[in-house]
Chains A and B, each alone.
Chain A
């Protein structure tokens, strides 16, 4: 008897040559070896001490003689003769091996288990492998019975292993993320790893929160709210915030094919293993992405189907002000300012988790916090026509109405200075400082202008400090101010001059969106855009003064024309105009007004005698009535009416130098259904999800025909939500949410709109919206 030796890879391949082992058998051996080793390594990580080398090469050699009869005996004899005793012992028994108890686990168990999980050269798992064997040539009941018994025995053994390693054996055999990343466009969307990213050790956190943006990375990373929440939550002790975005269709297809679950960027943890999954709701047409992301996370779509092991699924953001279309899928909504609501909420959940409270009990406790809406505690009652009669509480402890959370002073609110700096180009890739929240103008179509009341300003010192610090810590070379209306900042001139100076000295370009174009703005624009005059933008929103009064948009044609004159004088060559169509009381005369304004601007340029190229872009969007606005009672134009108006404008805007573009009317119809939808819309969303709808906000992915079919086949007439005028005493599905602005005020504004009466800016006197009942409003009458 020769001395005991150990096989090497080189030995194995020499044997393969000697025994003329066919390539497909070698490939099978390699797969078995790899499978066995992977499971063994995981067991060793959990305290076992298996000989990995023995498993690897016994696995690799096990079918070397498969072309011969009793191949396992032939191979074992040969190995023994050459002194490979341990390997020989494993190979000898591999055909008819019986698993025992995990306490007696040996290398033999691993190799044999590996052999039972692999089909040809691929890991397929136990069920698929047995299925394959059952239906293989020569299927007969006797063999099937035998195979099923063997499957049960193996399953039992795997259960024991899974209990030790704390995860399924199948989960060990997902392809490495690298394989997926090498096959997709822009793989850096999925890697995290950016500058200023926060990666906390899961072992040292008690609550793990996944912040989910239901759109692609490039969109989500341009959203400042994400940076605010990320910074805020990661400053908390024992709690971490990680990010997850909607994978692009190419990545999604791969993940589905490989059973690769949706994961967070920071630690690549499957979302299913996080404690909380929180979606931000920025626009209605991202709702299908939410369902898709839940499915990719292997989390049941409906709240009532989730178990204690699933994460709590929460949502916030502007669309949470009408949460009902998502009520079936979201366990809990946070309404209002995240800085205010989130920390207290997360802390409460952390404690609930620690105490081991059930989902139900946790939700009950959370419902006591301000800004928290738990849809399962309410049940809407509809009348025969589908109008809401009342919201019945299913648990007495739930509040009658959920009041939004309000940050009373921005100067004391957390604001990030070490923003995550993306590695790839995103839509907006720059330093951003929010100068104020809310708006005093009171445009009647604008939801943001209502739900973000009251106006709260950040003081100048704070803005400058944040800007300087952010630029330093991110290395950005662009700075933007963020608010609903940049020039309305109370000390705008002072702020703009100081920032202009600061940025010029540091090769930083300054971006001031939505400026009101008065002479001061031009002075600033001249300063910051010396060479590149990109284009001037106006948003008159409506074509005639009458209609602008109806919507309370305080801009006159004289404002526009005098600004255009100045702009042409200073060398601008491009003017962009934004309008909406389908506004309340609109007639074709208002559409004519749009063409009129475009024509007049072209003529101003002609009269200026400056010659050269000059063009005007008219961009038309379709009015979608939104919840919590004075126009929430108003019917939306039908898809056909929008189409007629688009055609009408196409005719009217055939003007030399004018470019015209408009939004898809079908998207606007869908958006309107969800904007004022109720719980019954959940079914429509599910149908859309099953039909494969996603990224509906992207014109290249929105499937017009599919959505049309979905709307037509839905058991509810969608026009109930879009084209129906609501009566003034109707109970709305979103009345359960208290935005701070009273329904009375909205109704008053609606009546004034009917008479084309304007309401003055809050700064020239309080308009009585009601938000000052809850919080201090600094703006009421501040300019009187």
Chain B
């Protein structure tokens, strides 16, 4: 049994596919490429394949991870050519690696980096100072919908924001870089940061004018991936 990770970007219209859609898209791409995945045993066999972290619908991504198991060894070349050829437009394999760890990628990811672009000129206000004040708050309380009960509950997200910086983005717009907790141990959606930041600054922009890209996922330093 061989375990690989494929790092890929997701850009353009394909960003409107969901986590479940992407799983199906990947499964079919492997079938078309003729790369045989290891199948689980049981009544309903399914290929051993998982995305390290779900990506919200509408987000672009630079470096998502797909973990797969195969029965036979597969060369990097096959992933980069045959599999790539069979992926829909907008999904580009960046690199691939071998995983020697027992623990799955999904269980190991602890953080993620995001870029958020606002339709606001960077020089309209002193955003670095505002961001500093935003982060200096002892608590950042937001309303969060509970998954099961669907009730709104107040949560403090401050501790889950690792870093937050501002810069001048393309066409002079405000761009914010975020490093947030991400994974099964502790998780924070950029949506909550965006909402509370807009509240804090009083900026009036609509959610659909804001673009989010996930730039990458963060693993513990000792997690070993041998990039091929």
A residues at B contact (CB < 8 Å): 9-10, 12-14, 26, 30, 178-179, 181-183, 187-188, 191-195, 421, 423-425, 471-477, 507, 531-532
Cα A194 to Cα B21 in complex, Å, equals: 12
26 contacts between A and B (CB under 8 A): A9-B121, A9-B123, A12-B123, A13-B121, A13-B123, A26-B124, A179-B209, A181-B16, A181-B58, A182-B208, A188-B21, A194-B88, A195-B32, A195-B86, A423-B17, A423-B21, A473-B32, A474-B32, A475-B28, A475-B29, A475-B32, A475-B86, A477-B27, A477-B31, A507-B39, A531-B43
Besides the known contacts A14-B123, A30-B121, A195-B86, 12 further A-B residue pairs in the complex with CB atoms under 8 A apart: A13-B121, A178-B208, A179-B209, A182-B207, A187-B16, A188-B17, A193-B12, A475-B86, A476-B31, A477-B27, A507-B39, A531-B44
Cα A187 to Cα B14 in complex, Å, equals: 10
Query: Taking the complex as formed, is B57 at the interface, i.e. its CB lies under 8 A from any CB of chain A?
Result: yes
Q: How many residues on B have C-beta within 8 angstroms of the other chain's C-beta atoms?
A: 34
Instruction: Compute the total of residue contacts between A and B using a CB distance below 8 Å.
Output: 80
Flag if A193 contacts B207 (CB, 8 Å).
no
Of B13, B14, B29, B58, most buried by chain A (CB within 10 Å of CB) is B13
A178 cross-chain contacts in B, Cβ below 8 A:
208
Beyond A181-B16, A191-B13, A195-B88, whether A475 also contacts B27 by CB under 8 A is yes
B122 cross-chain contacts in A, Cβ below 8 A:
9
B128 cross-chain contacts in A, Cβ below 8 A:
none
A10 cross-chain contacts in B, Cβ below 8 A:
123
Candidates A9, A12, A14, A195; contact of B28 at CB < 8 Å: A195
B86 cross-chain contacts in A, Cβ below 8 A:
195, 475
Q: Which residue of chain A has the shortest Cβ distance to B13 in the bound complex?
A: A191
Q: Which residue of chain B has the shortest Cβ distance to A473 in the bound complex?
A: B32
What is the CB-to-nearest-CB distance from A737 to chain B, in angstroms, rounded to a whole number?
41
Flag if B28 contacts A187 (CB, 8 Å).
no
Q: Is the interface of B mostly helix, strand, loop or mixed?
A: helix
B134 cross-chain contacts in A, Cβ below 8 A:
none
Query: Taking the complex as formed, is B24 at the interface, i.e. its CB lies under 8 A from any CB of chain A?
Result: yes
Flag if A182 contacts B58 (CB, 8 Å).
yes
Cα A241 to Cα B25 in complex, Å, equals: 24
A472 cross-chain contacts in B, Cβ below 8 A:
32
Cα A312 to Cα B39 in complex, Å, equals: 51
A423 cross-chain contacts in B, Cβ below 8 A:
14, 17, 21, 25, 88
B39 cross-chain contacts in A, Cβ below 8 A:
507
Beta-carbon contacts under 8 Å, B26-73 to A: 27-32, 39, 43-45, 57-58
Flag if B121 contacts A475 (CB, 8 Å).
no
Flag if A475 contacts B30 (CB, 8 Å).
yes
Q: Mark B101-141, 1 if CB is under 8 A from A, else 0.
A: 00000000000000000000111100000000000000000
6 closest pairs, A vs B, by CB?
Answer: A475-B28, A475-B31, A182-B208, A13-B123, A191-B13, A187-B16
Cα A423 to Cα B22 in complex, Å, equals: 8
B57 cross-chain contacts in A, Cβ below 8 A:
187
B121 cross-chain contacts in A, Cβ below 8 A:
9, 13, 30
Beyond A193-B88, A473-B32, A475-B30, whether A13 also contacts B13 by CB under 8 A is no
Query: Taking the complex as formed, is B159 at the interface, i.e. its CB lies under 8 A from any CB of chain A?
Result: no
Cα A294 to Cα B88 in complex, Å, equals: 30
Flag if B32 contacts A183 (CB, 8 Å).
no
Beyond A10-B123, A188-B16, A507-B39, whether A424 also contacts B21 by CB under 8 A is yes
Flag if B28 contacts A421 (CB, 8 Å).
yes
Cα A178 to Cα B18 in complex, Å, equals: 16
Cα A344 to Cα B124 in complex, Å, equals: 61
What is the CB-to-nearest-CB distance from B212 to chain A, in angstroms, rounded to a whole number?
10
Flag if A193 contacts B89 (CB, 8 Å).
yes
B208 cross-chain contacts in A, Cβ below 8 A:
178-179, 182-183
Cα A9 to Cα B171 in complex, Å, equals: 9
Cα A96 to Cα B21 in complex, Å, equals: 56
Q: Which residue of chain A has the shortest Cβ distance to B14 in the bound complex?
A: A193
Cα A473 to Cα B31 in complex, Å, equals: 9
What is the CB-to-nearest-CB distance from A432 to chain B, in angstroms, rounded to a whole number?
15
